[in-house]
Amino acid sequence: MTTIKDIAREAGVSVTTVSRALNGYSDVNEKTRAKIKDIANELNYSPNALARSLVTNKTKTIGLLVSGMKKESIKDNFTYEILCGINDMSAEIGYDLIFFSTNSTMQKEKSYAQLCRERKVDGVIIQGIKTDDPYLQEVIDSEIPCVLIDIPIESNSVGYVTTDNELGAKNITEYLIDLGHKNIAMINGHNRAFVSQQRFAGYRKALSEANIALQWEYVIDGAFDEEVAYDATLKLLNEHTEITAIVCASDLMALGVMKAAKTLGLSIPSDLSVTGYDDIILASYVSPTLTTVAQDKYLMGQKATRLLAELLEGHTNERKVIVETEIKKRESAGKNTRI
């Protein structure tokens, strides 16, 4: 492996000069620089990022703490799209990405801060973490710049990217109300997710503004899981045949709801309207196609990365980024036929 020492020897200069020449410092004779560069090329030199980082205390690396890269959640390309956005943007701004491979067993042994300190990442992006995750507190306490996705926490070194979940849920609920529905149920995620709390708030607000009383029995947690949502829906619809529409806090759960409807012999949307949240790829391919609140996940990833870069470079204006959502009106929601 070629080092600057080798180059220095070959060029008959000191390592200092080599370092400065290669790093584009101005106080170096252009002739010497050219010579050094030539030799570097010839010797097939590439700098050792480890050694450099050790002294500069910068790694040009972003740590990624991503839950949901499990086999089970492959259907849900939410995480992947965010990843793509992060990847593209980080390439643009010159940061490499490091995945902390931490399975559940190890998570107990090694703290968030430890992970970051060991690898000396410049900053971190966190996605898919639950609000009761012990890591979360650590993030806030730690000095390491960090961007959270879908967790609204701000501090000196912490920012976040999210969508207006309350508004999104409110809008789509209103859309159902406009379609004539009154008995609208909600399959939510779970209360350890901020987005669930917010989406419920939006649902509630829409009902309230339309003077529809909130029925607590209509609101069920589906754990963001297709199967769980399926089971919950069967039970719900058996007990409450008056329900004509279901708002889901994720597309995946909406798929579960649609399956349940099929099981019960209900056709969508004539017997039951269903809406999702996220706009995953499947949403536009299932039959009937799924009406949903679209989040631009790719953009979220990009913005998260850009925000982190700002945090790192210390010229942050705003630590909060809200990405717009959009209702995709497709086939799964229709007029209430039971009026």
Partner DNA sequence: ATGAAAGCGCTAACAG
Partner DNA sequence: CTGTTAGCGCTTTCAT
- Binding pattern to DNA, positions 30-59, x when CB under 7 A? xxxx-----------x-xx--xx-xxx---
Of 23-31, 86-94, 216-224, 225-233, which segment contacts a second copy by CB under 8 A? 86-94
- Binding pattern to DNA, positions 9-28, x when CB under 7 A? ---xxxxxx-xx-xx--xxx
Cβ(253)–Cβ(187) under 8 Å?
yes
Q: In the complex with DNA, which residue's Cβ is closer, 313 or 324?
A: 313
Of 306, 191, 320, 323, nearest in space to 249 by CA: 191
Of 307, 295, 319, nearest in space to 90 by CA: 307
- Binding pattern to a second copy, positions 62-81, x when CB under 8 A? -------xxx--xx-x--xx
By the rule CB under 7 A, 259 interacts with DNA: no
Among 1, 41, 213, 315, the residue binding DNA under the rule CB under 7 A is: 1
Cβ(304)–Cβ(146) under 8 Å?
no
Select from a second copy, DNA, none the partner in contact with residue 17, using the beta carbon and a kind-dependent cut-off of 5 to 8 Å. DNA
Select from DNA, a second copy, none the partner in contact with residue 119, using the beta carbon and a kind-dependent cut-off of 5 to 8 Å. a second copy
HSE-CB of 317 using CA atoms within 13 angstroms: 2
Residue type, 299: L
Query: Smallest distance from the beta carbon of 314 to DNA, in angstroms?
Result: 16
Structure tokens at 305: 């990365």
By the rule CB under 8 A, 130 interacts with a second copy: no
By the rule CB under 8 A, 91 interacts with a second copy: yes
By the rule CB under 7 A, 97 interacts with DNA: no
- Binding pattern to a second copy, positions 31-50, x when CB under 8 A? ---------------xxxxx
By the rule CB under 7 A, 238 interacts with DNA: no
Q: In the complex with a second copy, which residue's Cβ is closer, 71 or 108?
A: 71
Select from DNA, a second copy, none the partner in contact with residue 209, using the beta carbon and a kind-dependent cut-off of 5 to 8 Å. none
Phi, psi of 138, deg, nearest 5: -60, -40
Q: What does the binding site for DNA look like in residue numbers (CB under 7 A)?
A: 1, 3-5, 12-17, 19-20, 22-23, 26-33, 45, 47-48, 51-52, 54-56
Binding site residues, a second copy, CB under 8 A: 1, 46-51, 53-54, 59, 61, 69-71, 74-75, 77, 80-81, 83-85, 87-88, 90-92, 94-103, 106, 113-114, 117-120, 281-282, 285-287, 298
